[in-house]
Amino acid sequence: MQTGFVELFVDLVGTDPLINGLVGGVIIATMNLFGASLVLVWRDPSERALDTALGFAAGVMLAAAFTSLIIPGIEEYSGGNPIPTLVGVALGALFLDRADGLVPHAHYLLTGSRRSDAANPSQDLPVDESKLAGVVLFILAITLHNIPEGLAVGVGFGAAAGDPLQIGSALSLMLAIGIQNIPEGLAVSVAAINAGLDRRLYAVFTGIRSGVVEIPLAVLGAVAVVTIEPLLPYAMGFAAGAMLFVISDEIIPETHQRGYERVATLGLMAGVIVMLYLDIALAA
């Protein structure tokens, strides 16, 4: 599986890390669009199914943060020195924490329910909420959660530096992010529909949103690590830290609010298993 898939990707796309990052961004954005569009045919998914799917997405991201970012950042790109990668992890988590303090959580903008530690738009933003379109706030909130995903894919391909032997690891990360984008896109579409937004229009909007955000971030991640190689372990740690923050602060709490904690946990374990298999199959 590893040889055939990697060779096919290299034959079609080449080994330029910037082009690889661009293609990777397009692929994960397309998978997000696919997930958002599922609402057109799966018109009323149950809360149990959504929590299971989001748990799966969290498991994939959790394993990918370690196997494709933190461990390679320490062992392969820092000479065994954990400090640069761990500094990046801390910075990634801190960035998401501070950003969440300024921009409301996405689920509040869609449902009106607010966590006690979430931002209050009318108080925390330097503008009057009534003068700022809800869709702008929504895009800002969703962007925060796509930053680590797009960046991680770009960093993965930048780390491969065009080496076909390393591209397999970047591909496993790309597939992991893309797979978790499917239930994520579906869940956000369902939340938007429940808030009264149009089903068909929002499914398309979600796909466009993911493309606008994740594609340039993937290219940016590749550019950063290719042009400034010493930044690589910091960048890998930053992407991993941001992903871990999203998992712990947003995804897991969301899946444990409606009484389906057990299936969400089983979904998370399944996601970890799938990602570990992808990592071995594509990067061995």
**pLDDT surpassing 70 at residue 28:** yes
Say if CB 74 and CB 232 are below 8 A apart.
Answer: no
**pLDDT surpassing 90 at residue 199:** no
Q: Write the pLDDT tens digit of every residue in 77-115.
A: 788 899 999 999 999 999 888 876 665 555 444 444 455
Q: What is the mean pLDDT of the chain?
A: 77
pLDDT at 196: 61
Q: What is the DSSP string of 136-173?
A: HHHHHHHHHHHHHHHHHHHHHHHHHTT-HHHHHHHHHH
Q: How far apart are CA 79 and CA 83, in angstroms?
A: 11
Say if CB 106 and CB 253 are below 8 A apart.
Answer: no
**pLDDT surpassing 90 at residue 140:** no
pLDDT at 263: 94
pLDDT at 90: 96
Residues 266-280 have a mean pLDDT of 89
Residues 138-163 have a mean pLDDT of 73
Of 214, 178, 229, nearest to 73 (Cα)? Answer: 229
Q: Write the pLDDT tens digit of every residue in 114-135.
A: 555 555 544 544 434 443 344 4
Place of tokens 């494709």: 68
In the chain, pLDDT over 70 holds for what percent of residues? 73
**pLDDT surpassing 70 at residue 162:** no
**pLDDT surpassing 70 at residue 192:** no
**pLDDT surpassing 90 at residue 147:** no
Helices 232-246 & 83-102, crossing angle to 10 degrees? Answer: 40
Torsion of CA 284, 66, 154, 81, to 10 degrees: -90
Q: Write the pLDDT tens digit of every residue in 50-65.
A: 889 889 988 988 998 8
pLDDT at 21: 87
Highest mean predicted confidence (pLDDT) among 118-127, 155-164, 202-211, 253-262:
253-262
